Amino acid sequence: MTARALRRLIVMGLIVLWEVLPRSGAIPELFLPSLSSTLLSGWNEAAEYRQALAVTLSEVAISFAFACGGGILFGAVVGSLPRPRILIMPMISSLYAVPLVILYPVFTVWFGIGPESKIAFAAIYGFLPTMLSTAAGIQTIDPQLLLAARSMGATLSQRLVRVIIPAAIPTVLSGLRVGGALVIVGVVVSEMLISSAGIGYLISRYRTILDTPHVFAGVLLVLAMAVAFNAAIKWIERRCAIWRTGTQGGQRAAEEIAASALQPAT
């Protein structure tokens, strides 16, 4: 059996267990409602969930745009100039170890409890790995490639467009994957903490009234969002498959960043 088929089997098995275990009474429905009752309660409140999803998705999209735009821009500057790199990189790396979520209450004081505070928090949360990856991607470009381009008479802007950017793409993409995942975490967590709208808010509200099927319906939506996002990035990465073979140094650097990024996740 291939690893892929086995993975599918495991997922199927988990889905079946989710249905069977609560139904058979092995797990009380209050702890884990069966899949069907979760879906049903989600369906019954479809309008409410749809509205919450729209709020959350828009917050995620805006935060993602900020995180990526800022991360790529700052990463490119920090990665290509040695002085800012020496100055900033140690600070960013130690900032990474701080659970940023402790700052969220401060954000609500500054930006209110509406979407602004979520966007600000999630954008900063996703910014760090994107920036670190981009910086690493640009730092690990083979100097031989730049030298070759120069020998062919490439100007600075030609080197940027034709060598530096394409060579950095795979590393930047893996940074976007981690950054995007953290943006989703950031938005949902901040909604759960202090909010009046969004999926995180729904989950948190239904939890306080012990309505577990509705809690799990919200969890399913967040899960779907994360899976869809990951699939989208994977698709883009596959389209750039040729790139990957060239810059394995950058790839490795990005994976290290990804690994360390997932540690301090709230």
Residue range at the interface with other proteins (CB under 8 A); choices 4-12, 28-36, 159-167, 182-190 = 159-167
Length of the chain: 266
Residues 162-221 contacting other proteins, CB under 8 A: 162-163, 166-167, 169
Q: 81 or 240, CB closer to other proteins?
A: 240
Q: 151 or 208, CB closer to other proteins?
A: 151
Query: Would you count residue 150 as binding other proteins (CB under 8 A)?
Result: yes
**Structure-block tokens of residue 199:** 């999926």
Give the CA count within 13 Å in the CB-facing half-sphere of 13. 6
Q: 50 or 162, CB closer to other proteins?
A: 162
Query: Would you count residue 246 as binding other proteins (CB under 8 A)?
Result: yes
Q: 24 or 157, CB closer to other proteins?
A: 157
Query: Would you count residue 243 as binding other proteins (CB under 8 A)?
Result: yes
In the list 21, 39, 89, 145, the residue contacting other proteins (rule: CB under 8 A) is 145
In the list 2, 144, 208, 263, the residue contacting other proteins (rule: CB under 8 A) is 144
CB of 179 to other proteins, least distance (A): 22
Contact partners, residue 74, CB within 8 Å, separation at least 6 = 127, 131, 134, 135
Query: Phi-psi category of 28—alpha, beta or left, where left has phi over 0 and alpha has psi -120 to 50?
Result: beta
Cα–Cα dist 200/186, whole Å: 10
**Cα Rg, the chain, nearest whole Å:** 22
∠ CA 176-117-42, nearest 5°, is 75
Which phi and psi (to 5°) does residue 135 adopt?
-60, -45
Interface with other proteins (CB under 8 A): 142, 144-145, 147-154, 158, 162-163, 166-167, 169, 240, 242-243, 245-247
